Copies of this chain bind each other. A is one copy, B any other.
Amino acid sequence: MLSEFELIARYFTRPMAAGSRTALGVGDDCALLTPSTGMHLAISSDMLVEGRHFFAGADPFMLGHKCLAVNLSDLAAMGAQPIAFTLALALPEARAEWLEPFARGMLELADRHGCELIGGDTTKGPLTISITVFGEVPLHHALRRSAAKNGDDIWISGSLGDARLALAGYRDELKLDEAQQNLAAQRMHQPTPRVELGQALRDIARAAIDISDGLAGDLGHILQQSGVGATLDVDALPPGPALQQQPSELQRCFTLSGGDDYEICFTASPKQRAAIEAAALACHTPVTRIGSIESQPGLRLQDAAGQPLDLALTSFDHFTS
């Protein structure tokens, strides 16, 4: 059995990168970060619990990736550039066969975004992964939930609903063949945080939020905090590659309120359409225009023909579902 200190040393301590922002990393009472002048520090925490956010026995490499990805997604939705993160980890036991791939999955994604592991905590307990991530965004340029304006376009990055489809397959709510299940599962286990797009949107978009609990519910936070309403073109919502093969009613439902998507929903003036398309192209991240911000409060849904739709809107909530 590895001790706590051996475990930290073996899998989570790495040589400090050249050009590092950290004056002191893993191995003291605190890490020391040197923030850049003229920048806000954007900070987000997400906790993932076995049996709640991922299945018992989940692949540790993919889990390591996902835990950091969902945190990077929060930075992306603010337009912040990732710089560092801390990891607090409760583990039933310290097994190298689990820790090695878990650390690798997490640190590979971290390296891709120049995001250093600067500290944390490990303890015995039910498998729980709690990450706090730090990013930088120029003063007054962060994308906030409260900035949407009447007349704004509503956009979404990437595609929606495949993670929810995979979950339906695992839960036997739907019968999926193996190829479909695997295709859908990829988006569930390996979400791509839209870090580059978020930064590219800084001076183009107005409000933004990352989609973790379902588009309808998360867009609702923008509407509420901006004091506006919206109409969504439900048939414009981009289904993921696996969900595209399903009936249109299921596509509508899972794109609208599936959850676990980690795409960015943002609003921008219609004058910015060309700039947004260019930014998306430069970031190799597709974006789709899916509706409009309106002054009338509430969220309205319409189909491709402009006819009103009445879908039961449900956003995932950890304490009522």
Chain A interface residues (CB < 8 Å from chain B): 1-5, 7, 23-24, 27-35, 37, 40-49, 51-53, 74-75, 77-78, 80, 86-90, 93-94, 118-126, 128, 130, 132, 134-135, 137, 139, 142, 144-146, 208-210, 225, 317-320
Contacts and interface: CB of A to CB of B under 8 A. Distances in A.
A93 B29 contact: no
A132 B317 CA distance: 24
Contact of A123 (B35, B47, B139): B47
Nearest to A73: B29
Given A2-B319, A43-B118, A319-B2, A29 B128 contact: no
Considering residues A47, A78, A87, A120, which has the most beta carbons from chain B within 10 angstroms of its beta carbon?
Answer: A47
Contacts of A1: 319-320
Given A77-B29, A145-B29, A122 B318 contact: yes
10 nearest CB pairs, A to B: A49-B125, A130-B130, A47-B88, A30-B42, A35-B35, A132-B132, A29-B77, A45-B86, A30-B44, A126-B126
Contacts of A208: 29
A40 B23 contact: yes
A319 B7 contact: yes
Number of copies: 2
A202 to B, nearest CB: 13
Contacts of A319: 1-4, 7, 93-94, 122, 124
A31 B108 CA distance: 25
10 contacts: A23-B142, A24-B142, A29-B208, A30-B75, A34-B40, A43-B134, A45-B86, A47-B88, A49-B125, A94-B319
